[in-house]
Amino acid sequence: MRILIVADSHGDTSSIREAMTRHPEITRVLHCGDGEADVVSLSAAFPSVRFDGVRGNCDLGAVFPLQRLLRIGGRRIFMTHGHAYGTKYGVDELVERGRKDRADVVLFGHTHRPLIEHQGGILLVNPGSIAGRFPARRATYAILDLSDKGVSATGFDL
Protein backbone atom coordinates (compact mmCIF):
# COMPACT_ATOMS: atom_id res chain seq x y z
CA MET A 1 0.00 0.00 0.00
CA ARG A 2 1.29 3.45 -0.97
CA ILE A 3 0.13 6.51 0.97
CA LEU A 4 0.69 10.16 0.09
CA ILE A 5 2.06 12.12 3.06
CA VAL A 6 1.79 15.92 2.99
CA ALA A 7 1.98 18.79 5.46
CA ASP A 8 1.89 22.55 5.63
CA SER A 9 -0.20 23.21 2.53
CA HIS A 10 -1.48 26.49 4.00
CA GLY A 11 -4.31 26.80 1.46
CA ASP A 12 -2.42 25.43 -1.55
CA THR A 13 -4.65 22.58 -2.73
CA SER A 14 -3.18 22.71 -6.25
CA SER A 15 0.13 21.28 -5.01
CA ILE A 16 -1.62 18.37 -3.32
CA ARG A 17 -3.61 17.76 -6.50
CA GLU A 18 -0.35 17.73 -8.49
CA ALA A 19 1.20 15.17 -6.13
CA MET A 20 -1.94 13.02 -6.45
CA THR A 21 -1.72 13.27 -10.26
CA ARG A 22 1.90 12.11 -10.17
CA HIS A 23 0.90 9.05 -8.13
CA PRO A 24 -2.49 7.90 -9.49
CA GLU A 25 -2.30 4.66 -7.46
CA ILE A 26 -2.81 6.65 -4.24
CA THR A 27 -6.09 5.97 -2.46
CA ARG A 28 -5.09 7.46 0.90
CA VAL A 29 -3.64 10.81 1.91
CA LEU A 30 -2.37 11.72 5.37
CA HIS A 31 -2.03 15.46 6.04
CA CYS A 32 0.21 16.41 8.96
CA GLY A 33 -1.35 19.77 9.73
CA ASP A 34 -1.63 23.40 8.67
CA GLY A 35 -4.15 22.60 5.99
CA GLU A 36 -7.37 21.37 7.58
CA ALA A 37 -9.52 23.37 5.15
CA ASP A 38 -7.49 21.89 2.29
CA VAL A 39 -8.25 18.35 3.50
CA VAL A 40 -11.97 19.13 3.73
CA SER A 41 -11.98 20.65 0.22
CA LEU A 42 -10.02 17.80 -1.38
CA SER A 43 -12.09 15.13 0.39
CA ALA A 44 -15.15 16.48 -1.38
CA ALA A 45 -13.33 16.69 -4.73
CA PHE A 46 -11.87 13.15 -4.50
CA PRO A 47 -14.52 10.93 -2.88
CA SER A 48 -12.64 7.71 -3.78
CA VAL A 49 -9.56 8.82 -1.81
CA ARG A 50 -9.48 8.64 1.96
CA PHE A 51 -8.03 11.69 3.68
CA ASP A 52 -6.95 11.87 7.32
CA GLY A 53 -5.45 14.92 8.96
CA VAL A 54 -4.36 16.52 12.18
CA ARG A 55 -4.55 20.10 13.36
CA GLY A 56 -1.54 22.35 12.92
CA ASN A 57 -0.63 25.50 14.79
CA CYS A 58 -2.03 27.63 11.93
CA ASP A 59 -5.34 25.72 11.69
CA LEU A 60 -7.27 28.25 13.75
CA GLY A 61 -10.74 27.10 14.77
CA ALA A 62 -9.94 23.60 13.56
CA VAL A 63 -11.82 20.48 14.57
CA PHE A 64 -9.18 17.90 13.64
CA PRO A 65 -7.36 16.31 16.58
CA LEU A 66 -3.81 17.37 17.50
CA GLN A 67 -2.62 13.82 16.96
CA ARG A 68 -3.81 10.44 15.76
CA LEU A 69 -2.72 6.85 16.10
CA LEU A 70 -3.82 5.03 12.96
CA ARG A 71 -3.65 1.35 12.10
CA ILE A 72 -3.10 0.91 8.39
CA GLY A 73 -1.97 -2.27 6.67
CA GLY A 74 -1.12 -3.88 10.00
CA ARG A 75 1.14 -0.97 11.00
CA ARG A 76 0.79 1.58 13.78
CA ILE A 77 1.18 5.13 12.48
CA PHE A 78 1.34 8.07 14.87
CA MET A 79 0.74 11.44 13.23
CA THR A 80 0.88 14.96 14.58
CA HIS A 81 1.82 18.38 13.29
CA GLY A 82 4.82 18.61 15.58
CA HIS A 83 4.47 22.00 17.24
CA ALA A 84 3.32 20.38 20.50
CA TYR A 85 6.51 18.27 20.51
CA GLY A 86 9.06 21.03 19.90
CA THR A 87 10.11 19.61 16.55
CA LYS A 88 11.82 22.82 15.48
CA TYR A 89 14.41 22.01 18.15
CA GLY A 90 14.70 18.24 17.66
CA VAL A 91 12.69 15.05 17.46
CA ASP A 92 13.54 13.35 20.77
CA GLU A 93 10.17 14.11 22.37
CA LEU A 94 8.37 12.90 19.25
CA VAL A 95 10.39 9.67 19.11
CA GLU A 96 9.59 9.04 22.77
CA ARG A 97 5.87 9.47 22.03
CA GLY A 98 6.19 7.03 19.14
CA ARG A 99 7.82 4.47 21.44
CA LYS A 100 5.08 4.94 24.02
CA ASP A 101 2.44 4.24 21.35
CA ARG A 102 4.48 1.34 19.88
CA ALA A 103 4.38 3.12 16.52
CA ASP A 104 6.08 1.71 13.45
CA VAL A 105 5.94 5.14 11.79
CA VAL A 106 5.79 8.69 13.16
CA LEU A 107 4.58 11.39 10.78
CA PHE A 108 4.90 15.11 11.45
CA GLY A 109 5.27 18.49 9.76
CA HIS A 110 5.66 22.01 11.16
CA THR A 111 9.35 22.59 10.31
CA HIS A 112 8.72 22.78 6.53
CA ARG A 113 11.89 20.70 6.13
CA PRO A 114 11.70 17.14 4.80
CA LEU A 115 13.12 14.35 6.94
CA ILE A 116 13.09 10.59 6.49
CA GLU A 117 15.13 8.58 8.98
CA HIS A 118 14.99 5.63 11.36
CA GLN A 119 15.40 6.19 15.08
CA GLY A 120 15.07 3.43 17.62
CA GLY A 121 13.09 1.15 15.31
CA ILE A 122 10.68 3.93 14.28
CA LEU A 123 10.49 5.42 10.81
CA LEU A 124 10.26 9.21 11.19
CA VAL A 125 8.78 11.07 8.23
CA ASN A 126 8.36 14.80 7.78
CA PRO A 127 7.24 15.42 4.19
CA GLY A 128 8.25 19.09 4.35
CA SER A 129 5.91 21.75 3.02
CA ILE A 130 3.78 20.76 0.02
CA ALA A 131 3.31 24.50 -0.58
CA GLY A 132 7.04 25.22 -0.59
CA ARG A 133 6.77 27.63 2.30
CA PHE A 134 9.71 29.28 4.07
CA PRO A 135 12.34 28.23 5.03
CA ALA A 136 12.46 25.35 2.54
CA ARG A 137 11.37 27.36 -0.51
CA ARG A 138 10.67 24.12 -2.36
CA ALA A 139 7.49 22.07 -2.39
CA THR A 140 8.01 18.55 -1.06
CA TYR A 141 5.97 15.50 -0.08
CA ALA A 142 6.55 11.83 0.73
CA ILE A 143 5.16 8.47 -0.25
CA LEU A 144 4.90 5.91 2.54
CA ASP A 145 5.13 2.28 1.41
CA LEU A 146 3.61 -0.39 3.66
CA SER A 147 4.21 -4.00 2.69
CA ASP A 148 4.68 -7.43 4.19
CA LYS A 149 8.43 -6.78 4.00
CA GLY A 150 8.27 -3.61 6.10
CA VAL A 151 7.77 0.12 5.90
CA SER A 152 9.71 2.69 3.91
CA ALA A 153 9.29 6.23 2.69
CA THR A 154 10.56 8.24 -0.26
CA GLY A 155 10.65 12.01 -0.49
CA PHE A 156 9.83 13.97 -3.63
CA ASP A 157 10.15 17.53 -4.88
CA LEU A 158 7.10 18.91 -6.64
Write down all domains in the chain, each with its CATH number in brackets: 2-157 (3.60.21.10)
Q: What is the pLDDT of residues 110-128, one digit of tens each?
A: 999 999 999 989 999 999 9
The residues with which 28 forms a beta bridge, in sequence order, are: 50
The pLDDT tens digits of the residues spanning 18-72 come to 999 999 999 999 999 999 999 999 999 999 999 999 999 999 998 999 999 999 9
Q: What is the CA radius of gyration of the chain?
A: 14
104, burial (CB in 10 Å: exposed 0-12, middle 13-18, buried 19+): buried
Average pLDDT over residues 136-150: 93
In the predicted model, is pLDDT for residue 154 greater than 90?
A: yes
Mean pLDDT within 83-98: 96
0.85 surpassed by pTM: yes
In this predicted structure, the answer to whether residue 106 has a pLDDT above a threshold of 90 is: yes
What is the C-alpha to C-alpha distance for residues 141 and 143, in angstroms, rounded to an integer? 7
